[in-house]
Structure 1
Amino acid sequence: MKIKDITSYLESIAPLSYQESYDNSGLIVGNSNDVVNKILISLDCTEDVVQEAIDKGCDLIISHHPIVFKGLKRFNNANYVERTVIKAIKNNIALYAIHTNLDNVLGGVSSKIAKKLALSNQAILSPKSGLMKKLVVYVPRANVEEVRKALFEAGAGAIGDYDECSYNTAGYGTFRPLDGASPAIGEVGKQERVEETKIEVVFPAYLERNIIVSMLSTHPYEEVAYNLVTLDNSLKNVGSGVIGNLSQPMEGVDFLAYLKDKLQLNVIRHTALLDKPIQRVAVCGGAGGFLLNDAKRSGADIFITGDYKYHEFFDAENQIVIADIGHFESEQFTQELLLDIIKKKFANFAVLITETDTNPIKYYC
């Protein structure tokens, strides 16, 4: 199997276009056409993880966090990032990261936390907008079914739990082929009037190239009249954080004990418990403090995330409980998630979860 067989599948679930602007998800080291025989999954990519890959005969490391966030100007072993990259290159080990794009899908990192906590009715806490486009194309009546079918097969027309969605308007188009044209309909120098259908379909922006290629390959015209519009509509399954419900309300202290047990935590930093039970729970893997207001608006009783600073805890304002469980701890089950995703598609392929502890934070209890 080639690296691109694995990465293309992962990106069909968590498209690279869903990552945040500061991120660096994707293939960081390696050639997508290289053959891969064994994969090592890790939350972080470190020198020790690369060594583990060498020892176990793995030629691809899939990590959640990218080893390279910013551009590197030198490779001279000056820091752990450079040393890790150099070691991977020397040993022909490819490095791939699936970071905020996996954070930003329902069924991703935050959903894994929610599943561990047995939350029902999961939904994205802060849906993203601007990720959908609309195609409008004018097609001769005789070719409408063929073009529409090609658009659907390329991924257009999917809205929530529905697919093959389109809006079609009958009309007519006019055009006059000029010298040098090879019209499918009409004659050079003569204005033509053709019965046409205007087809409108929406699609995820990352599918644009496939959609356009499919449309052009089936449309009969030499010059196709179409336009693209970016939509402000939010995608309900794409965005940050997850909100869900416990099957039964729990007292605050009981829920903290439940949280500690289910997520295998050493410690929980939290604001004062409120004088009401906890049932509606908001979660965000990693550093999710930016979602606090979304958690409040969603009616959450508690917001679980990592990397909270001292003064940020005051923002709870006795409206919600903030629980900081740690960055690594909130994302540690991402390794299981990636294993399950890959094994579902490539059942007989060798995929291992790292045995290296990459958490840089230690606790003295």
Structure 2
Amino acid sequence: MIISNIIAGLESFAPPVYQESYDNAGLLTGEPGWHCSGIVVALDATEAVVLEAKARGANLIVAHHPIVFSGLKKINGKNYVEKAVIAAIKNDIAIYAIHTNLDNVMDGVNGRIADILGLLNRRVMAPRQNTLRKLYTFVPPAHLEQVRSALFAAGGGQIGQYSECSFQSEGEGSFRAGDHANPFVGEIGKRHLEPEVKLEMVFPAYLEPAMIAALKSSHPYEEVAYDLISLTNSFDMVGTGIIGELPEPVAETAFLERLKNVFRVPVIRHTPFTGKPVQRVAFCGGAGSFLVNNALQLKADIYITGDMKYHEFFDANDRLVIADVGHFESEQYTVDLLYDILAEKFPTFAVFKTGVRTNPVNYYI
């Protein structure tokens, strides 16, 4: 198994195109062509995690947080970032980061917490805009199912929780084959009319090359007619944060007690209680203060995140409870998520969860 194969598996789950502009996800050290001897999954690729990978005989670390966010002008070990990079290079260990792209897919970091909390009727809090396209093509009726199935297999036709979505309408196409053409139907030099089906299908923009390749390989015509349209529709399966509902309302104090157990924290910073039961729950792993207004607009009873600053707590406006469980704590189950993704895609390969606790924050009680 080479590292590029493992990266392809991860990126089929969380495409790099969905990372935020400030992010630095991807292969940070090492080469994609290396043979992989084993994988360690971690939240942070610190020096201790690099040395752990070496001890386990693994030469790939898959981490949520990129150890390198901005350019390094010097690498002399003066801070934890440089120490980790030096250790990785010295020991031929590759580091791959899968960060905000994993945050921004429905079944990613936030989806895993929604699973643990048992949230129903989930949706993304801030869906991505301008990430969808629509394909129109024209197919002879006898080849319609062949083309449609190929486009579905390439990733087209997904709308929310529904797959294989398309629309067709019947019509008649015309063309005249030139002297050097090799027409599937009709005669060279003569106008030809052919019954055709107009096939429409939505797809994520990043899949355009795969969709066009599938169309051309499955379509019988020498020259395939198609149109691509950019859509302004939001993509409800991609974006930041998740909101859902508990099966039954829960008292605020009881729900916070549950959060302490789920996130394994001795204390939760929170805004004043509203006196209402909790049923609609919004969540964003990591630093999620930017989604407070979204939580309010979506009428959440509680918004759970990390890294809230003092003045940002005032944004609750006594309309919901903001609960800060900590940055590391809110993302700790990402290690389990990455392990499960890799174990499913590469069931016979050696994948290890890190035994290093990388949280730099401690609590004195």
Please, what TM-score do these two structures have when normalized by structure 1?
0.91
C-alpha contact (below 8 Å) 1:281/1:301 kept by paired residues: yes
Alignment partner of 1:32: what SS?
coil
Cα deviation, 1:254-303, whole Å, max 9, x if unaligned, reads 32222112210132111111122222221110011111122112221111
Q: Distance in 2 between matches of 1:181 and 1:115?
A: 56
Match of 1:230, as an amino acid?
S
How big is the shift at 1:63? 0.4
> Which segment drifts farther, 128-137 or 83-92?
83-92
- Match runs of 1:149-298 below 5 Å: 149-178=149-178, 180-298=180-298
Cα deviation, 1:69-90, whole Å, max 9, x if unaligned, reads 2344554445433332232123
The answer as to 2:331 corresponding to 1:351 is: no
Q: Distance in 1 between matches of 2:237 and 2:72?
A: 34
- Map of 1:136 onto structure 2: 136
How big is the shift at 1:188? 4.8
> Which segment drifts farther, 77-86 or 323-332?
77-86
- Match runs of 1:53-64 below 5 Å: 53-64=53-64
Q: Distance in 2 between matches of 1:175 and 1:120?
A: 52
> Which segment drifts farther, 187-196 or 50-59?
187-196
Gaps in structure 2 of 5+ consecutive residues: none
Q: Distance in 1 between matches of 2:272 and 2:146?
A: 62
Q: 1:59 to 1:224 in 2, by over 3 A?
A: same
Q: 1:199 to 1:88 in 2, by over 3 A?
A: same
Match of 2:329, as an amino acid?
E
How big is the shift at 1:189? 4.3
- Match runs of 1:301-320 below 5 Å: 301-320=301-320
- Map of 1:334 onto structure 2: 334
Match of 1:314, as an amino acid?
F
Q: 1:190 to 1:250 in 2, by over 3 A?
A: closer
Match of 1:214, as an amino acid?
A
Q: 1:90 to 1:167 in 2, by over 3 A?
A: same
How big is the shift at 1:180? 4.7
> Which segment drifts farther, 307-316 or 184-193?
184-193
> Which segment drifts farther, 288-297 or 215-224?
215-224
Cα deviation, 1:222-280, whole Å, max 9, x if unaligned, reads 33221111222233332221222334433323322221122101321111111222222
> Which segment drifts farther, 210-219 or 63-72?
63-72
Alignment partner of 1:193: what SS?
strand
Cα deviation, 1:161-186, whole Å, max 9, x if unaligned, reads 43332222222333334455444444
- Map of 1:9 onto structure 2: 9
Q: 1:32 to 1:295 in 2, by over 3 A?
A: same
Q: Distance in 1 between matches of 2:171 and 2:184?
A: 19
How big is the shift at 1:198? 1.7
Match of 2:174, as an amino acid?
T
> Which segment drifts farther, 228-237 or 52-61?
228-237
Q: Distance in 2 between matches of 1:59 and 1:169?
A: 53
* Total equivalences in the alignment: 365
> Which segment drifts farther, 148-157 or 310-319?
148-157
Match of 1:306, as an amino acid?
G
Q: 1:277 to 1:142 in 2, by over 3 A?
A: closer
Q: Distance in 1 between matches of 2:315 and 2:161?
A: 37
Alignment partner of 2:352: what SS?
strand
> Which segment drifts farther, 44-53 or 238-247?
238-247
Please, what TM-score do these two structures have when normalized by structure 2?
0.91
How big is the shift at 1:104? 1.4
Alignment partner of 1:212: what SS?
helix
Q: 1:255 to 1:75 in 2, by over 3 A?
A: same
